[in-house]
Amino acid sequence: MADEETETEDGAEGEEKAKKSPLKLILFIGLPVLILLLAGVGGFLLFSGGGDDAAEQADSLHGESGGDGHGGDTHAAAEQHAEPHYFDLREGDGEVETITTNIRSSDGRPVLVQLKLSFESTNPEMESILQSHVDPIMDQFIMFLRELREDDLYGSAGMHRVRLELLRRVNLAIEPAQVDAVLIQEFLIVD
């Protein structure tokens, strides 16, 4: 009788395993296959050249289609606004502002830095914003430059870091407006 109970328990466990194994088979084999198929179809649609039709459909759904069926009016307007404009800081007499300050040298000798900058922005009104904030911009720049050491300025990596920091500081001075890039027009180290 104990053997019959063991066989019945084994039989019940076998049926339970048989019920779970198709579920496991579906989960462990079917699910990854389904994911791969969906990824393959998505990749095919993405790289098959059907992107133009999809873009036109998206434009028409959002009401962005122009008279030519390709959304030309809004795309041209967006391109026109994305065009970069370049601005200089100007002194009261109209001359381009030259930034001159001393920096720290490793051996204590006096070192001067002179630079002229331009600013890039997609906002055509940025010139008036910059001109109305000349003093805070110059203050930010001078504070930063005076903390530099002569060694910080050598090499392209050093100049890149200086440009990024100048960009951050001009944007602090004119916020909420933002400049897209700072361009160094002249850079001179005088011993």
What pLDDT is attached to residue 157? 87
**Least confident interval from 22-36, 49-63, 111-125, 173-187:** 49-63
Residues 123 and 158 in one domain: yes
Residues 58 and 115 in one domain: no
How confident is the prediction for the chain on average, in pLDDT?
A: 75
Residues 63 and 29 in one domain: yes
pLDDT (tens digit per residue) in 108-147: 788 899 999 999 999 988 889 998 998 999 999 999 998 8
Give the residue from 80, 109, 138 where a domain finishes.
80
Residues 98 and 175 in one domain: yes
Residues 31 and 98 in one domain: no
Rg (alpha carbons) of the chain, rounded to whole number: 33
Residues 141 and 162 in one domain: yes
What CATH number does residue 172 fall under? Answer: 3.30.479.30
Select the more confidently predicted residue: 4 or 131: 131
What pLDDT is attached to residue 108? 79
Share of the chain above pLDDT 70, in %: 66
Give the residue from 36, 56, 80 where a domain finishes.
80
Residues 75 and 29 in one domain: yes
Residues 128 and 97 in one domain: yes
Number of domains in the chain: 2
Q: 96: which residues sit within 8 A by CB, 6+ positions away?
A: 88, 89, 90, 116
pLDDT (tens digit per residue) in 166-176: 999 999 999 99
Residues 171 and 148 in one domain: yes
Residues 73 and 94 in one domain: no
What pLDDT is attached to residue 66? 46
What pLDDT is attached to residue 17? 56
Give the residue from 50, 80, 110 where a domain finishes.
80
What pLDDT is attached to residue 60? 45
Give CA separation, 184 vs 23, 76, 86, 160, 175, in Å.
65, 31, 12, 10, 21
Q: What are phi and psi of 149, to 5 degrees?
A: -105, 160
Residues 100 and 54 in one domain: no
Residues 13 and 35 in one domain: yes
